[in-house]
Amino acid sequence: MFSLEDETFQVFGICSLLLLAKMTFMSLLTSRQRIKTGKFANKEDSYFGDKSAPANLKESLKANDEVERVRRAHMNDMENIYPFILIGFFYCLTGPNSNTAKFHFITFLMARVLHTIVYILAVKQPARGICYFVGMLVNASMILQSIAHYM
């Protein structure tokens, strides 16, 4: 029977909160990179810290690889972590084996943290692809087990 005090659900909650904290950090890191490089997405943002127009407004609105790399890592998190949280919640409702469930949750957390590290540091493939694939396997496993439980 499912319970909020269940150790499995608590591990799921901790992993989910850590992933959400990481995503929040990525948002802040994107902003930091924009300010550091002077590259902004919107005209009004280019006036950051200065009320006058930047020396070269057109140049400040051009994309920057340092900014885009962090932004893409953040977007990739949103595409993968939100589904994990929803899938993991439904998975918890099935009353899975505690050790198996914890393995799923911790593996996904580690895969996403490593994915971010290798993405930001521009580590050559297949490092990022492996991290992504591991996370996808975890989600697929939880989906299949959850569906099997109700069939």
Question: At 99, which CATH number?
Answer: 1.20.120.550
68 in a structural domain = yes
98 in a structural domain = yes
Residue 49 has pLDDT above 90, yes or no: no
38 in a structural domain = no
- In the chain, how many domains are there? 1
Measured CA to CA, the distance from residue 52 to residue 20 in angstroms comes to 36
- Higher local confidence (pLDDT), 132 or 53: 132
Please give the residue range of the domain that contains residue 80.
Answer: 7-30+63-150
Measured CA to CA, the distance from residue 77 to residue 20 in angstroms comes to 9
109 in a structural domain = yes
Residue 128 has pLDDT above 70, yes or no: yes
Residues 6+ apart with CB under 8 A from 105: 11, 12, 15, 88
Residue 52 has pLDDT above 70, yes or no: no
Mean pLDDT of 48-57: 61
Digit-coded pLDDT (tens) for 64-111: 788 899 999 999 999 999 999 999 999 999 999 999 999 999 999 999
123 in a structural domain = yes
